[in-house]
Amino acid sequence: MSYSNESIAELVRPDSVHKSVYTDPEIFQLEMDRIYGHAWIYAGHESQVPKVGDYHTTRIGDQDVIMVRGTDGKVHVLYNRCPHKGAMVVARGDGNAGKFFRCPYHAWTFKLDGSHLAAPIRRGFEGTSFDPSSPEFSMRALARVESYRGFVFASQAAQGPSLTDFLGGVRSSIDNLCDRSPEGEVEVAGGVFKVMQPSNWKVFYENLHDTMHANVTHESSYTSARKQAESFDKMPLELHIMDGNGEPYEFWEKLSLMAFDYGHGYMEGIFNPGAIETDPVTRSHFETLVEAYGRERALAIMGENRHNTIIYGSGSPHTVFQQFRVIRPIAVDRTLVEIQTFRLKGAPEAVFKRGLMYANLINSPSSNVMPDDIELYGRCQQGNMTRGGDWVSQHRYAGTDKPIEGGMTSINGTSELPMRNQFNAWKQYMLGQV
Ligand SMILES: [Fe+2]
């Protein structure tokens, strides 16, 4: 079928969505145009391209792009396409282009901002309309590129909100992540895990603040952790983190869920990696912050305990354990998740090691926890392909959400507000209202 705006609007109700939003390839293609063709999407971190010519390839929606450090010191984001025959100019991956890009097909060259440098044997173009100064013969840049504290976002739309306005209520999560460094800066370090999920990209966003699943889906990992903990006097942090998923419903009910415009949000509370008074790693980290910012500010920075911030369309930064799970839609039923870990510049190495431990333990392909989720994401995809029903429920605490500046907050931590908020934004994007 071809979707009219009316038929798209009918897919999202205030308390449920039609399953075709997860399963219809035509919807997926519309999302690539109307969401990923407009929103600010995270391209990567500036620290991934520190030197002139350094590049990192990635995907903005269904578009192959290159994030590159130009000779002007600025970060550019270009479509990975040579204007001659259309070949991808660089293979997917990271590298250094030197002073210019050179297409491996016919050696057309381009400056690091994508502008045309040269095509071999220029005389062959004499008398044709070939014009090296025309954008038609350059690598095209994405319409807008902005960086917020080192996090580079690109938008394929020339018009729209500024990056800071777009980030709105979750900008403070990026601030907190960076402020945890005594130098106020982070850098990608420790490699990147990649996990391919057999499910639609939206399912992962919904799971990030889905508190009702934790003690059901993760039963096998938290019961194992609890059993293992019996052999220790004090439960190690590794087991404590897994154990947390086994908290009873009453625990999750007390959490706060914040939901902002454009589908963003964050969750407050949950796992503190350790108290300043008792945990030596947290203590030494705190001391570096006191030296840099003073005691009061250091307490405020460490006291902001957010879990799984959502930047809708880009992924999920985690402030306390310094990582960014970047979510890349590949197909209607395939999603690539890249887990970037960050070093807090100037903070003790043990803080970085703790972040790596969390990434290994919770998010990596060999994690004890993530496979639980991936199994369920796949089941949602498969179940929604059956004729067993058409609607997906988001009824929990529907109609009770409270407005806050730039968004809504839940009255109960088990609310399905985050999912409703994401689909509210989804609908606005899909109807061209943002
Ligand atoms: Fe989970």
pLDDT band (50, 70, 90) for residue 78: very high
Predicted pLDDT of residue 1: 66
Distance of CA 407 to the CA centre of its chain: 20
Q: How remote is the CA of residue 233 from the centroid of ligand 1, in Å?
A: 27
Count of domains forming the chain? 2
108-141 pLDDT, tens per residue? 999 999 999 999 999 999 999 999 999 999 999 9
* Same-domain status, 370 and 265: yes
308-352 pLDDT, tens per residue? 999 999 999 999 999 999 999 999 999 999 999 999 999 999 999
* Same-domain status, 63 and 116: yes
Query: Considering the domain boundaries, does residue 221 fall inside one?
Result: no
Predicted pLDDT of residue 237: 87
* Same-domain status, 331 and 415: yes
* Same-domain status, 172 and 141: no
* Same-domain status, 120 and 202: no
* Same-domain status, 310 and 403: yes
Last residue of a domain, one of 148, 176, 196: 148
Give Cβ neighbours of residue 66 (< 8 Å, ≥ 6 apart): 55, 56, 57, 77, 78, 79, 80, 89, 90
Predicted pLDDT of residue 252: 94
Contact between 15 and 398 (Cβ < 8 Å): yes
Query: Considering the domain boundaries, does residue 340 fall inside one?
Result: yes
Query: Considering the domain boundaries, does residue 84 fall inside one?
Result: yes
293-310 pLDDT, tens per residue? 999 999 999 999 999 999
Q: How remote is the CA of residue 372 from the centroid of ligand 1, in Å?
A: 7
Query: Considering the domain boundaries, does residue 20 fall inside one?
Result: no
* Same-domain status, 312 and 418: yes
Q: How remote is the CA of residue 364 from the centroid of ligand 1, in Å?
A: 13
The residue range of the domain holding 95 is 41-148
* Same-domain status, 187 and 55: no
Contact between 309 and 266 (Cβ < 8 Å): yes
Q: How remote is the CA of residue 214 from the centroid of ligand 1, in Å?
A: 5
The token pair at 188 is 């990608």
35-50: average pLDDT: 98
Q: How remote is the CA of residue 211 from the centroid of ligand 1, in Å?
A: 8
Is the predicted pLDDT of residue 172 greater than 70, yes or no?
Answer: yes
pLDDT band (50, 70, 90) for residue 271: low
pLDDT band (50, 70, 90) for residue 277: confident
In this structure, what CATH number is given to the domain that contains residue 320?
Answer: 3.90.380.10
171-186: average pLDDT: 98
* Same-domain status, 91 and 175: no
CA angle 64, 113, 150 (to 5 degrees): 75
250-264 pLDDT, tens per residue? 999 999 999 999 999
Query: Considering the domain boundaries, does residue 154 fall inside one?
Result: no
Contact between 416 and 397 (Cβ < 8 Å): yes
- Give the number of other CB atoms < 10 A from CB of residue 15: 16
Q: Look up the pTM and report it.
A: 0.96
Query: Considering the domain boundaries, does residue 107 fall inside one?
Result: yes
Contact between 245 and 403 (Cβ < 8 Å): no
Q: How remote is the CA of residue 135 from the centroid of ligand 1, in Å?
A: 47
Predicted pLDDT of residue 365: 83
pLDDT band (50, 70, 90) for residue 227: very high
Query: Considering the domain boundaries, does residue 247 fall inside one?
Result: no
* Same-domain status, 78 and 201: no
Query: Considering the domain boundaries, does residue 358 fall inside one?
Result: yes
378-385: average pLDDT: 98
Is the predicted pLDDT of residue 238 greater than 90, yes or no?
Answer: no
Is the predicted pLDDT of residue 278 greater than 90, yes or no?
Answer: no
* Same-domain status, 207 and 99: no
Q: How remote is the CA of residue 377 from the centroid of ligand 1, in Å?
A: 10
In this structure, what CATH number is given to the domain that contains residue 62?
Answer: 2.102.10.10
% pLDDT > 70, the chain? 99
* Same-domain status, 195 and 333: yes
pLDDT band (50, 70, 90) for residue 98: very high
